[in-house]
Structures are given as structure tokens and as C-alpha cells.
């Protein structure tokens, strides 16, 4: 007699998809971005691996890691968009982000971040990233205009 086994799906590769991004500037000049989409948060929060959001403006980037680390830097590699193969390099560079950089809100379907003061009005781009067992995953990029 053959018995069929029961298979349980498990998180193996995070699903990262940005469906939109909204920007805001306060009267004091603090710029923020709210990223909405599908983040596969159960996996991202249940398992400990680097994951978060990156906002770029030209060759300047700021990285918001789910661990709470916020780093910024400059890299010519980000000027034309970020590929999955560039994530390990970006995780190894940067310095503490300028104030008022912060994760403002973290929810199942959205991440709101305050940008460092050296991000200016104009074109920018946002992505989500994760690094799992040496494999990098990035979301689709979404372009925004910072006020």
C-alpha cells in the first residue's frame, strides 16, 4: 500500500514586488517615500536575512535594512538601476545616513521611510531587495519624483 505524503510549502525565495510609491515633503523640508506592494513579509520577518528598501537618486543611494540599519553612499553602479547581482556589493558599502533618515512605518504591504537631508527634489527610484543563501532578489524598480 502506497501512502501519499503531505507537502508543506515553505518560504524559499522572497516575493518582492513594488506596486506603487508616493512621496511627501513636510513644511520643514523632510522628504519621505511610501512604498506599497507585495513583500512576502512572513518570510522576511520570520527568517533572518538581509532585506529592505533602497532609494536612489542618480548615483546616490540610501538603504533601509529590516534590521534597522540605514546606510547611504554613492556608487556609479546604481545610476542606471540596481540588479540582483549588485546587491552584495551595495550591502558592503555606505556610511550612516544623514538625519532625518528613518523607517517611519513598516506594515505588511507598505514601508514608509524618511530620506536623508542630502536627497533633493527631483527624480528618484525605489526597489526592495533580499539576500537569501547567497542569492539576491530585487523587486521591480518604481520611479518617483521627490517634491
Q: Give this prediction's pTM.
A: 0.86
Please state which of the ranges 5-14, 39-48, 50-59, 77-86 shows the lowest mean pLDDT. 5-14
Q: Is the pLDDT of residue 80 over 80?
A: yes
Question: Which domain covers residue 114, as residue numbers?
Answer: 17-146
How much is the pLDDT for 35? Answer: 96
Q: Tell me the average pLDDT across 44-64.
A: 85
Based on the structure, what is the number of domains in the chain? 1
- Assign residue 45 a region (left: φ > 0; alpha: ψ between -120 and 50; beta: otherwise): alpha
- Residue 132 in any domain: the answer is yes
Q: Is the pLDDT of residue 5 over 70?
A: no
- Residue 101 in any domain: the answer is yes
Q: Tell me the average pLDDT across 74-100.
A: 94
Amino acid at each position: 500500500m502506497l501512502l501519499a505524503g503531505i507537502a508543506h510549502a515553505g518560504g524559499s525565495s522572497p516575493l518582492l514586488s513594488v506596486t506603487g510609491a508616493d512621496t511627501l515633503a513636510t513644511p520643514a523640508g523632510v522628504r519621505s517615500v511610501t512604498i506599497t506592494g507585495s513583500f512576502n513579509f512572513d518570510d522576511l520577518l520570520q527568517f533572518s536575512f538581509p532585506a529592505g528598501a533602497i532609494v536612489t537618486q542618480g548615483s546616490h543611494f540610501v538603504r533601509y535594512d529590516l534590521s534597522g540599519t540605514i546606510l547611504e553612499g554613492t556608487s556609479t553602479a546604481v545610476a542606471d538601476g540596481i540588479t540582483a547581482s549588485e546587491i552584495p556589493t551595495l550591502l558592503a558599502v555606505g556610511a550612516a545616513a544623514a538625519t532625518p533618515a528613518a523607517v517611519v512605518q513598516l506594515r505588511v504591504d507598505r514601508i514608509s521611510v524618511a530620506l536623508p537631508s542630502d536627497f533633493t527634489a527631483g527624480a528618484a527610484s525605489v526597489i526592495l531587495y533580499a539576500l537569501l543563501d547567497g542569492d539576491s532578489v530585487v523587486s521591480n524598480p518604481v520611479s518617483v519624483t521627490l517634491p
